[in-house]
Amino acid sequence: MSYYTGRVKDYFFNPRHAGEVEGADATGDAGALTCGAVLRLSLKIDAASREVTEAKFKATGCGFLIAAANALAEMVNGLTVGEAGQLSEGTLAETAIVEHLRDVPPDRMHCLRLCRDALAAAIKHYRRTTLEEWTGEEALICTCFGVSEKTIEHEIQTGSLRTIKQVTQACNAGGGCHSCHPLIEDILEDYWRRAGF
């Protein structure tokens, strides 16, 4: 009887997303001291929609790591950078992978954490690159969706927006990883202070 069962066995013997994305827009590496496993996740991201259009992995490790990495690659395909960033927070990725694979022993949970760490590293790489490549004259506030300060101010003015949620609905800013929420809050406060309200 095989040590691997069900979807874990299928993904281990037939990984659909193994390899490296050619011309990747983001890569993330992670390693586990527990077992010596190493994982690299590479992503292709559409510049206009900020959606992950291709995700692949390279791994040295056990079948559970390979199955988990394959599951993660399937899950992030089609997500926006912001949604993928949210998935890498806390234990969301591990929970989603467990639900996807259905059969992960407790002693292999570190494989899932490795996947989360590689995803977080890839998203961080993408954000850093986006900031470095930004050519706009105004400040880039939301790196997940490439929204500038000027765009946010315009949306606040034309829509009489008062909350971060309203700003997100108007132009997507703040809809990803949420790291720009304090900046959006500052822009809102500054605008309404200058407007005399």
- The CA-based dihedral angle spanning residues 186, 122, 95, 181, taken in that order and rounded to the nearest 10 degrees: 0
Per DSSP, which regions of 99-187 are E strands? 140-142, 147-148
Say which residue the tokens 């890498």 belong to: 88
- Provide the pLDDT for residue 124: 87
CA angle 49, 167, 138 (to 5 degrees): 70
Does residue 47 fall inside a structural domain?
A: yes
Looking at residue 147, which CATH number applies to its domain?
1.10.10.1100
| Contact indicator for 109, 94 with CB cutoff of 8 Å | yes
Report which secondary-structure segment, H or E, holds 98.
helix 92-101
Q: Looking at residue 40, what is its pLDDT?
A: 97
Report the mean per-residue pLDDT for the chain.
Answer: 88
Distance from chain centroid for Cα 10: 25
What tokens appear for 197 in the block?
């309200």
Output the pLDDT for position 136.
67
Regions of the chain where pLDDT drops below 70:
1-2, 134-136
Q: Do both 64 and 160 map to the same domain?
A: no
Which pLDDT value is given to residue 132?
A: 73
Residue 1 located in a structural domain: no
pLDDT, position 161: 92
Enter the pTM of the model: 0.76
CA distances from 27 to 99, 138, 160, 195 (A): 25, 27, 39, 43
Number of independent structural domains in the chain: 2
The answer on 95 and 48 residing in a single domain is yes
Range of the domain at 82: 6-133
Q: What is the C-alpha to C-alpha distance for residues 111 and 3, in angstroms, rounded to an integer? A: 16
pLDDT tens by residue, 104-158: 888 888 899 999 999 999 998 988 887 777 666 778 888 877 788 888 999 999 9
